[in-house]
Amino acid sequence: MLPKITHQQFIVLRLLYRGGEFSSIAIKSLLEHYGITQSMPSFYQFMARMIKSKFVHERKETIIEDGKHTGRKNMYCISAIGRTQLDFARYFYQQEQWIKGTNES
């Protein structure tokens, strides 16, 4: 069976797995580091699909500057389902590497 996550989802899930909770800006920046550029609306649609698939949890954090509410930022963390999907993808590709190594001998 093939993994059910895309490369882009894998990158995000790996970040969240290793580091806990991240803002949307931090996640978008990481994706850009890997050459994945998106408009903010496209990025938020991508994250909405991650939430709908139950791969991540979202939390809205209030931003307060000088004692005044100035906005909100979205914070994301990996869910149990996301961890399972990430673990399966990692296992699958490690096995594929092992299979390639034995067939080339």
In a domain, 93, yes or no: yes
- Asked if residue 26 lies in contact with residue 47, where contact means CB atoms within 8 angstroms, the answer is no
> pLDDT of 62-83, one tens digit each?
888 887 877 889 999 999 999 9
The domain of 82 spans 7-103
Helix axes 40-52, 24-33, angle to 10 degrees: 110
* Count of structural domains within the chain: 1
CATH number at residue 53: 1.10.10.10
Give pLDDT tens digits for 19-51.
889 999 999 999 999 999 999 999 999 999 999
Q: Give the global pTM.
A: 0.82
The per-residue pLDDT for 100 is 62
79-101 mean pLDDT: 85
Q: Do residues 26 and 98 lie in contact, with contact meaning Cβ atoms separated by under 8 Å?
A: no
User: Does pLDDT of 88 surpass 90?
Assistant: yes
Q: For position 105, what pLDDT does the model report?
A: 44
Half-sphere exposure of 42 (CA within 13 A, CB side): 7
